[in-house]
Structure 1
Amino acid sequence: MMEAVSFEGENDISYEGSESPLPPAFTLSGEREERRCELWTPSVCCSVCSLSPSTGHLWNTNSNAIKRGDAESYVELNELRGEVWQEVGRWVGYEENFSPASGQWGQSHISYLTFKSLIQLRKVMSTGAVLLDIDDSSLSSIAQKMVEELLLKKEIRSSDRDALLAILQRRRSQFDSNSPPSSAGIEMQTFSVAKQRDMVDRVEASVVLSGVVESLQKPVVAFARLRDSVVMDGVLEAPVPVRFVFFLVGPSNSGMDYYESGRAMASLMADWVFSLEAYLAADEKDLYTAMADFMDCSIVIPPTEIQDDNMLKPIINFQKKMLRDRVRPYDTRIMIGGKGLVFSFT
């Protein structure tokens, strides 16, 4: 049976003295922290690198990756509820879900995705709008470009344009840091970024929006990568610079589960390898290939009742092998800058 996930520091949420604006690292009870990457999870800290033939050092032939450095991925999922975008989930490797009814964050856990959500996401992505290296600094202007691209691709009607843009620009409702702790005793309060502002450049965020828009004829999706990550006022619960923006919206009669497909995309963006591939993608094809690679490294559990947790143990070693195969040591696009990117599957 997998050991329980907990926070370092006796669940201390002050984060003083931390080197990151993110919550303290997750650890396994009774395990060393460096073994975190052995977890059965799609969000594994893998690295893709090449060796210099003369020195044996790790090199990066892509100047864009050098500028990005060892940025960690932080993801927020917002679901359209009524007239607002409600923050319902966030990821830093692991997933946390927010309950508006209780006003509390649940306990962190490994993301589990439905096969259907991944298939639906991949299908709709094949016809969606992909904008790479745009130079905007506000979510409003980014949304406008995304909508214009959907119109250009004839994914939406001209009559859909203004209404869709207005929906994307609606107010965001985020977690209140003064809300009471959950019954599990783990307080998942907003990040103490003010105390760690000097380290905020080590984190880059992805904004994921997903929900029902009945006026549309079919589900539509748009993905944008900013040339330079930028802090956007009122977009995230913490002033983390945004690198990626994604939205998936459409009518309820389409058969699409917008929440689960939104979670699937958020889990993709939280995955270190996919996030890096999305960062380095030269075109739409590279993005689709990265999604296929993620799915190839995921595991489907048949709809059979699990009688005992021990039945899941063989999956752990099986996935370790898959993750080893996922590392491509001779990918010449990438150089690993140095610290924080070494991991082990042993």
Structure 2
Amino acid sequence: LEPLYITQHVQIGDFPENPSQRVKARGKEKFQNCNDPSKPIFCEMLKLIDDNERYHWKEVARWIKYEERVENVGHRWSKPNVPLVTPVALFRLKNCLKRGAVLLDRTVSTFEELANMIVSEWEQQRAITSTETNVLFRTLLRSKEHLVKSTTTNLSCLLWRPMSPPNVDAYSDSTSQQKNVPSEEDDFERKYNEQLKKYLENAESLVILIAQLPLMHKTVSAFVRLTEPRVFANLSEMPCPTRFLFVLITSGHHDEHDLFMVGRCMGALMTDKNFRNIAAYAVDSTELTYGLDEFHRDSVIIPPGKWHLRNDMEPTEQTQENEQEKKHAPVVTSKVLIDLEGLQYTGKYGAICRICTIFVQLKISDCSAV
């Protein structure tokens, strides 16, 4: 639901013909006889770093099946974990998709063309000044620094490996024998890397660029989907073509953590298959927000104080596919009469209740059991 700016209809329950499902159904029908653009996505986020006024983009996080962040200690990837986002960051990302630049099904040959197209769109929206135009164009073309460098023939550097324990000569023979026994972490590494190789075989990439520039007066954002994915030199650490690009640039007055959280939301969205389908099939910014609404609806919110974003949540083997199938089961409308005679007048708070008629959405599977 949007903020209460205008009168709007409120629907309780899940309906088989919701907007996001219509978008996915239309996309599957459109690409039935050709290459389906909905493919696995390798996502990475780069942040603009000011190194003595020498700006460059530096990789800070990536999403393959789960989220991995660059650890300050050891200059390595963290253990894959479930991406955690906040509702506030989701709302801010939705605002970026609705009011920012959305460029769908565009064709470019070089990243310079892509950067020029984004800046030109901001100019048309009157979101930036003439002074900011040149600065933003040069900023987008700054060098990109990745944690690892991969090639088209070697993907081993993208695999996750646990940190090796320190070598201590004082270990006994019994300890060395225990090392030969596979640990839970070794088993996780093996299973995760096996899934990772299969996932990356036919993947495309989404690159997220987040930055703070002191000269900016307004926040600008852009979401780009290319008609044909392109390989841009040094844009992504993954040797796969780039189909999506998300740019978010704010002024220096904004909180850096809030900027980072919005970028994390975009990365987390691309780990969700439903949103990837919406991102591949959407025809405008409104349909993109349908996918974000579906992601928000299927998310679980942890109450404040019960968990902190600094605490990682490890992935599990369990999935919610069966739960999702139950959620999207067809529904029928049933008219149910509830007799509230015993509550017509309680005397408490001066409340008077009348016999009322309500409509309840019942699943077909539930009706058959009656």
With the length of structure 1 as denominator, give the TM-score of the two structures.
0.66
SS at match of 1:304: coil
Quick check: 1:79 aligned with 2:47?
Answer: yes
Q: State the Cα deviation string for residues 34-83 of structure 1 (Å, max 9, x = none).
A: xxxxxxxxxxxx9x977xxxxxxxx9311288413662111111111111
Q: State the Cα deviation string for residues 126-178 of structure 1 (Å, max 9, x = none).
A: 21000011111322211211111011011212221110111111100001358
Gap change, CA 1:105 and 1:265, over 3 Å in 2: same
Once the two structures are TM-superposed, the CA of residue 280 in structure 1 deviates from its matched residue by 0.5
SS at match of 2:134: helix
- 1:138-153 equivalences in 2 (<5 Å): 138-153=110-125
Gap change, CA 1:254 and 1:212, over 3 Å in 2: same
Task: Name the residue aligned to 2:163.
Answer: 183
- 1:65-144 equivalences in 2 (<5 Å): 66-68=34-36, 71-82=39-50, 83-99=55-71, 102-144=74-116
Gap change, CA 1:124 and 1:143, over 3 Å in 2: same
SS at match of 1:247: strand
Over alpha carbons, which structure has the higher Rg? 2
For 2:329 and 2:287, the matched residues in 1 are separated by 15
Gaps of 5+ in 1: 1-45, 51-58, 307-311, 330-346
SS at match of 2:44: strand
Task: Name the residue aligned to 2:289.
Answer: 288
Higher relative contact order (CA 8 A, sep 6+): 1
Task: Name the residue aligned to 1:227.
Answer: 227
**Which amino acid letter does the alignment assign opposite residue 63 of structure 1?**
F
Task: Name the residue aligned to 1:259.
Answer: 260
Once the two structures are TM-superposed, the CA of residue 181 in structure 1 deviates from its matched residue by 6.2
Once the two structures are TM-superposed, the CA of residue 183 in structure 1 deviates from its matched residue by 2.9
What is the number of residues matched between the two proteins? Answer: 262
Q: State the Cα deviation string for residues 272-300 of structure 1 (Å, max 9, x = none).
A: 11111111011121112212221122122
**Which amino acid letter does the alignment assign opposite residue 118 of structure 1?**
L
Gap change, CA 1:302 and 1:235, over 3 Å in 2: same
For 1:98 and 1:295, the matched residues in 2 are separated by 26
Gap change, CA 1:167 and 1:298, over 3 Å in 2: same
**Which amino acid letter does the alignment assign opposite residue 273 of structure 1?**
N
Quick check: 1:61 aligned with 2:29?
Answer: yes
Gap change, CA 1:127 and 1:297, over 3 Å in 2: same
Task: Name the residue aligned to 2:130.
Answer: 158
**Which amino acid letter does the alignment assign opposite residue 139 of structure 1?**
F
SS at match of 2:229: strand
Contact 1:225 1:245 survives alignment (8 Å)? yes
Quick check: 1:250 aligned with 2:250?
Answer: yes
Gap change, CA 1:254 and 1:171, over 3 Å in 2: same
- 1:303-318 equivalences in 2 (<5 Å): 303-305=304-306
For 2:328 and 2:82, the matched residues in 1 are separated by 21
Once the two structures are TM-superposed, the CA of residue 233 in structure 1 deviates from its matched residue by 1.5
Contact 2:56 2:143 survives alignment (8 Å)? yes
Higher mean C-alpha deviation, range 250-259 or range 294-303: 250-259
Contact 1:124 1:219 survives alignment (8 Å)? no
With the length of structure 2 as denominator, give the TM-score of the two structures.
0.62
For 2:228 and 2:238, the matched residues in 1 are separated by 18
**Which amino acid letter does the alignment assign opposite residue 265 of structure 1?**
M
For 1:203 and 1:153, the matched residues in 2 are separated by 33
For 2:46 and 2:115, the matched residues in 1 are separated by 15
For 1:132 and 1:70, the matched residues in 2 are separated by 14
Gap change, CA 1:66 and 1:111, over 3 Å in 2: farther
Once the two structures are TM-superposed, the CA of residue 319 in structure 1 deviates from its matched residue by 6.6
For 2:122 and 2:327, the matched residues in 1 are separated by 33
Once the two structures are TM-superposed, the CA of residue 328 in structure 1 deviates from its matched residue by 8.1
**Which amino acid letter does the alignment assign opposite residue 135 of structure 1?**
T
For 1:214 and 1:252, the matched residues in 2 are separated by 5
Task: Name the residue aligned to 2:12.
Answer: none
Task: Name the residue aligned to 1:272.
Answer: 273
SS at match of 1:246: strand
Task: Name the residue aligned to 1:206.
Answer: 206
For 2:74 and 2:136, the matched residues in 1 are separated by 30
Contact 1:224 1:246 survives alignment (8 Å)? yes
Gap change, CA 1:159 and 1:69, over 3 Å in 2: closer
Higher mean C-alpha deviation, range 275-284 or range 118-127: 118-127
Quick check: 1:170 aligned with 2:139?
Answer: no
